Amino acid sequence: MVLFLCPESIDLRDNTLLRYVTFGTDGDERTPEAKETFSVINPATENVICRLPDLNEDATLDAVQAVVKASRVVGSDLSPQDRSDILLAWKALMIENIEDLAKIITSENGKPLTEARAEVHYAANFLGWFAGEALRIEGSVPRPSDRANRVVVIRQPVGPVAVITPWNFPAAMITRKVGAAFAAGCGSVVKPAAETPLTAIAIAELARRAGVPNGALQIITTLKNTVQVGKVLTQHPDICKMSFTGSSSVGKLLATQCTSTMKRVSLELGGNAPFIVFDDADIETATKALIASKFRHSGQTCVCTNRAYVQSGIYDRLLQAVTNEVERFSLGNGMYSSTTHGPLISPAAVKKNEHFVRDAVNKGAKVSVGGRAATSLGSSFFEPTVLANVSPDALCAKEEIFGPILPLIRFDTEDQVIQLANDTKSGLAGYIATGDLARGWRLAEILNVGMVGVNAGSISDVASPFGGVKESGQGREGSVLGIDEYLEA
Ligand SMILES: NC(=O)c1ccc[n+]([C@@H]2O[C@H](COP(=O)([O-])OP(=O)(O)OC[C@H]3O[C@@H](n4cnc5c(N)ncnc54)[C@H](O)[C@@H]3O)[C@@H](O)[C@H]2O)c1
Ligand SMILES: O=CCCC(=O)O
């Protein structure tokens, strides 16, 4: 089944990338069918890109059955070398099709093409990384207390995996999980976000072309049946592991559902990253890092700076520098090469950002640049915004903004800022800009987060363990640790 029966098509070199199939237990290809369908919307134009089947519990149960069988093929019939080779072929196919994949991402997610291309590279690199890890699944032979015995520890695939992913990184959040699962010897059923299912479909088609056995990667598209599908994926006794990326509230719910069958869980959840700029920071380095960290994907990244704490001595200069940078941004449809920042995912996200600005201004903040919905562009656009003199009590300092608002909060002492930065239930990322290396190291350990950037705003890398503490989640993805999430000793 080739999609695009719709008013707005994406101009692809290879339309068959969007061949959406599921698989039966014999690996037979099936056209996913459902009584109802849902629309995939381009947030920049508000046009319907296409309509997809809204699959239900029964379709999910079929997918689970098929993945259980296919997981045995992946874990037993394929050698680690086979899995590694397939992952490398899959990575190569992603790079070969980078322009098409980037257009699909930009169409359904809104991020500018340059960011979409960067995401395809990032996503493909996880496949390359785990191709290496597949070859290095090692056990151990510890000496037990009884001198006559030996203990042999082997590491085996955990079993079939359920994967539930968000819309903000529709490619990388899938490959970071499914690549690790496949390397370990597990098949996956993926439920992508209803906003961005086409990227998932294209990635699955490339997986098939690369040699991932039929049924070992199933995609379930749904909007209305999300809760019911989620229940099957989190409660089915044959699913051994659930890996989720998304909001902390949904993560807690799904983790609770998983306890009924004691599934292993990995949870990559929301953040509230502090970015601390000390007086001794190099102003150019701090500005560059802060802008990169805050405005990646217009602030819709879990590791984006949520609140910037700026020491009094550098405050005015930094405010001016970041305002100048933001004034240079070009907001628009991500398909245009001149666009530096695209729309938010939905009109609801714009309303939320308006609320954050209103609340901050009511509590004393001043809008230095932006601050409003960009309605002339469409209903999902919000102006990249810098807010000065923000109160530490403003909502935007307490809740995840997930939008292009940079709140600057003034502070005086290191002790004061540590207290402010750690006063949150989240603990995903944190950033420090300082010229004092000792202080950089000290704070990197004191900040209660999973990842810290020192004089750096881009911290995401396949080699570094990605994950949070507190209500930002459990487990680590990517890096040498990522595959452990899919192995049992
Ligand atoms: N820590 C990380 O690595 C990371 C990465 C990306 C995004 N995030 C977080 O994700 C959030 C934004 O993404 P979002 O709006 O898509 O999050 P979300 O929690 O609303 O949705 C995430 C996924 O869960 C699904 N879902 C929602 N309710 C469900 C249910 N009851 N049963 C089954 N599935 C359900 C959604 O359809 C989607 O596929 C932000 O909080 C962001 O910080 C975290
Ligand atoms: O949104 C969070 C995931 C993006 C990343 O891996 O850097």
Give the pLDDT confidence of 292-309 residue by residue, as tens digits: 999 999 999 999 999 999
Where does 372-479 have alpha helices with state H?
395-398, 414-422, 437-446
Q: How far apart are CA 238 and CA 186, in angstroms?
A: 12
Which residue lies with its CA nearest to atom 5 of ligand 2? 460
Tokens of residue 336, six digits:
């245009």
Residue 72 has pLDDT above 70, yes or no: yes
Residue 1 has pLDDT above 50, yes or no: no
Residues 470-486 have a mean pLDDT of 98
> What number does the ligand 2 atom closest to the CA of 301 have?
1
Own/partner long-range contacts of 29-35 (Cβ < 8 Å, ≥24 apart): 29/214, 31/1, 32/1, 32/59, 32/221, 34/59
Separation of CA 351 and ligand 2 centre (Å): 23
> What number does the ligand 2 atom closest to the CA of 466 have?
6
Place of tokens 């991500």: 334
> What number does the ligand 1 atom closest to the CA of 194 have?
37
Computed from CA positions of residues 138, 171, 268, 239, in that sequence, does the dihedral angle turn out positive or negative? negative
Q: What local confidence, expressed as pLDDT, does residue 66 receive? A: 98
Residue 225, Ramachandran bin (φ over 0: left; ψ between -120 and 50: alpha; else beta)? alpha
Tokens of residue 271, six digits:
């953040």
Q: What local confidence, expressed as pLDDT, does residue 8 receive? A: 55
Helix axes 437-446, 414-422, angle to 10 degrees: 30
Q: What local confidence, expressed as pLDDT, does residue 9 receive? A: 76
Residues 208-223 have a mean pLDDT of 98
Q: What local confidence, expressed as pLDDT, does residue 2 receive? A: 47
Half-sphere exposure of 106 (CA within 13 A, CB side): 27
Residue 345 has pLDDT above 90, yes or no: yes
Separation of CA 245 and ligand 1 centre (Å): 5
Separation of CA 162 and ligand 1 centre (Å): 14
Residue 7 has pLDDT above 60, yes or no: no
Q: Are 374 and 329 in contact (CB under 8 A)?
A: no
Residue 371 has pLDDT above 50, yes or no: yes
Residue 420 has pLDDT above 50, yes or no: yes
Q: How far apart are CA 398 and CA 7, in angstroms?
A: 41
Q: Under DSSP, is residue 133 helix (H, G, I), strand (E, B) or coil?
A: helix
Residue 4 has pLDDT above 50, yes or no: no
Residue 296: DSSP 8-state = G
By the 10 Å C-beta count (0-12 exposed, 13-18 middle, 19+ buried), 149 is classed as exposed
**Strand runs (DSSP E) across 373-423, as ranges?**
385-388, 405-411
Q: Are 266 and 184 in contact (CB under 8 A)?
A: no
In this structure, the number of other CB atoms found within 10 A of the CB of residue 333 comes to 21
Own/partner long-range contacts of 313-319 (Cβ < 8 Å, ≥24 apart): 313/279, 314/277, 314/278, 314/279, 314/281, 314/283, 314/286, 315/408, 315/410, 317/283, 318/277, 318/283, 318/286, 318/287, 318/290, 318/408, 319/368, 319/386, 319/388, 319/408
- Per-residue pLDDT reduced to its tens digit, 90-136: 999 999 999 999 999 999 999 999 999 999 999 999 999 999 999 99
Ligand nearest to the CA of 225: 1
Own/partner long-range contacts of 433-442 (Cβ < 8 Å, ≥24 apart): 433/275, 433/276, 433/277, 433/278, 433/281, 433/282, 433/285, 433/286, 433/289, 433/290, 434/276, 434/278, 434/280, 434/281, 435/278, 435/280, 435/281, 435/282, 436/278, 436/280, 439/278, 439/280, 439/414
Q: What local confidence, expressed as pLDDT, does residue 144 receive? A: 95
Residue 6 has pLDDT above 80, yes or no: no
Residue 354 has pLDDT above 60, yes or no: yes
Prediction ipTM score: 0.96
The catalytic residues are 268
